């Protein structure tokens, strides 16, 4: 079986920079609080009504294709990871296909809904398709336009200050080089705490999961024997129940446990150790989480790429944006051992080891 490799990588971030100070104009927060707890100084917001999750993904894809030496029309499978899709359905994969003018019918498109671990999961899927010989040019995209779905009042400040917009893309191809390419990927999930970091409305749940957990929440649904208003009720609109929610400290504790675990698991499988890693690209959840993981693994500063200071947490886009930046800075070179790792909503977590 052939190995697969990342043949080209690209990223796109919108022009508009939003500083912490700018956020203090609309909510009760401070630059000091945000920097101290998260390391974030600024983030990017897409141009409202001009850019979307899929259009940003397409911008990143054009660069990835150029670096891989292919045209968008050469792509034979699209995997698009996002939690902030343009539409509830259809997914961003087909919208990106249209945006890039990929008109041949042989192409397939798949959307991955794994939030922060979405890109690593998507890369793993691409790896399987390429290794088995099914596809030769698989496009993997992580893209988010969070700014269209955040609560910009003080009520939403614990979540809103963290997230930013952007996109990253990679072209995955087969390689003949025996030592190079994706060495392994590790994927995990545990839905026990699904609601601790979630965006539940609109949805078809009808309060089901909360009832099962012994909690009755009034979402304002009409009686069960009537039709209509099942997705978004007036109460949800009035009370802002259609925004993401997060139990920050709980998420933090899980993240600092799962990141090292899944990195060690991948290293053990291929008989390597943390010190062999040339570049760790952790999902940019929070600078404090990345620093904690770095310390646990005993890595130097030059072995870890962080850019959350500039972009905030871009969820499915954070790993490919960081990988692309590291590559462009000459910090990911041929022969280097690159480790991608992510943890997020679900909870889901994942890692990938790549000999570049």
Structure-block tokens of residue 56: 């940003």
Among 47, 128, 158, 245, binds ligand COA (CB under 6 A): 158
Binding segment for ligand COA (CB under 6 A), chosen from 219-227, 242-250, 258-266, 267-275, is: 242-250
Radius of gyration of the chain (CA): 20
Among residues 65, 116, 324, 339, the one annotated as catalytic is: 116
Residue 7 in the binding site for ligand COA (CB under 6 A): no
Instruction: Work out whether 251 is an interface residue with ligand COA (CB under 6 A).
Output: yes
Which residues in 180-239 contact ligand COA (CB under 6 A)?
none
- State yes or no: residue 157 binds ligand COA (CB under 6 A): yes
DSSP β-bridge partners for residue 354: 182, 338
- Whether 92 is a known active-site residue: answer no
37 binds ligand COA (CB under 6 A): yes
Binding to ligand COA (CB under 6 A): which residues in 64-123? 116
Is the CB of 108 or the CB of 156 nearer to ligand COA? 156
In the complex with ligand COA, which residue's Cβ is closer, 128 or 189?
189
- Please identify which residue in the block is written with the tokens 């933090």: 252
Shortest distance, position 157 Cβ to ligand COA, whole Å: 4
Question: Which one of 146, 283, 306, 307 is the catalytic residue?
Answer: 283
State the angle between helix axes of 53-68 and 92-99 in degrees (0 to 180), rounded to the nearest 10.
Answer: 60
Complex with ligand COA: residue 100 or 281, whichever CB lies closer: 281
Q: How far apart are CA 98 and CA 82, in angstroms?
A: 17
Contact between 248 and ligand COA per CB under 6 A = yes
Q: From 26-34, 47-55, 261-269, 291-299, give the range in contact with ligand COA by CB under 6 A.
A: 26-34
Give the x/- contact pattern for ligand COA in 276-315, rule: CB under 6 A: ---------xx--x-----------------------x--
Residue 150 touching ligand COA (CB under 6 A): no
Give CA–CA dist 314/320, Å, rounded: 10
Q: Is 29 in the site for ligand COA (CB under 6 A)?
A: yes
Answer yes or no whether residue 249 interacts with ligand COA by CB under 6 A. Answer: yes
Cβ 37 to ligand COA shortest distance, Å:
4
In the residue annotation, 116 being an active-site residue is answered as yes
Position 258 contacts ligand COA (CB under 6 A): no
Q: How far is the CB of 252 from ligand COA (least distance, A)?
A: 4
313 is catalytic: yes
Which residue stretch of 127-135, 220-228, 247-255, 322-330 sits at the interface with ligand COA (rule: CB under 6 A)?
A: 247-255
Q: Which of 146, 286, 313, 324 is catalytic?
A: 313
- Whether residue 347 is preceded by a cis peptide bond, meaning omega within 30 degrees of 0, is yes
Residues catalogued as catalytic? 116, 283, 313
Residues that bind ligand COA (CB under 6 A): 29, 33-34, 37-38, 116, 157-158, 161, 246, 248-249, 251-252, 255, 285-286, 289, 313, 344
């Amino acid at each position: 079986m052939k190995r697969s490799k990342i043949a080209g990588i690209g990223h796109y971030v919108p022009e508009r920079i939003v500083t912490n100070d700018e956020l203090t104009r609309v909510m009760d927060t401070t630059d000091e609080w945000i920097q101290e707890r998260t390391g974030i100084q600024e983030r990017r917001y897409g141009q409202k009504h001009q850019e979307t999750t899929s259009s940003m993904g397409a911008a990143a894809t054009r660069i990835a294709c150029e670096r891989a030496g292919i045209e968008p029309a050469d792509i034979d499978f699209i995997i698009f990871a996002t939690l902030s899709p343009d539409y509830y359905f259809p997914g961003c994969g087909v919208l990106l296909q249209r945006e890039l003018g990929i008109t041949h019918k042989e192409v397939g498109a798949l959307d991955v809904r794994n939030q922060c671990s979405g890109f690593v999961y998507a890369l793993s899927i691409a790896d399987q398709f390429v290794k088995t010989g099914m596809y030769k040019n698989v496009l993997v995209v992580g893209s988010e336009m969070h700014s269209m779905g955040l609560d910009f009042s003080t009520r939403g400040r614990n979540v809103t200050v963290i997230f930013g917009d952007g996109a990253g893309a990679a072209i995955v191809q087969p390689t003949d080089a025996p030592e190079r390419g994706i060495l392994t990927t590790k994927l995990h999930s545990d839905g026990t705490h699904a609601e601790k970091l979630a965006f539940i409305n609109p949805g078809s749940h009808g309060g089901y999961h909360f009832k099962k957990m012994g909690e009755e929440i009034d979402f304002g649904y009409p009686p069960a024997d009537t039709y209509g208003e099942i997705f978004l009720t007036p109460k949800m609109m009035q009370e802002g129940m259609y925004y993401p929610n997060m139990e920050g400290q709980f998420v933090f504790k899980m993240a600092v446990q799962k990141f090292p675990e899944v990195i060690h698991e991948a290293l053990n499988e291929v008989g390597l150790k943390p010190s062999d890693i040339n570049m760790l690209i952790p999902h940019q959840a929070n600078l404090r989480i990345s620093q904690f993981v770095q310390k646990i693994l005993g890595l130097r500063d030059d072995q870890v790429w962080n850019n959350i200071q500039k972009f905030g947490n871009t969820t499915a886009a954070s790993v490919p944006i960081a990988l692309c930046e590291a590559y462009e800075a000459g910090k990911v070179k041929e022969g280097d051992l690159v480790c991608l790792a992510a943890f997020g909503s679900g909870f889901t977590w994942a890692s990938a080891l790549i000999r570049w």
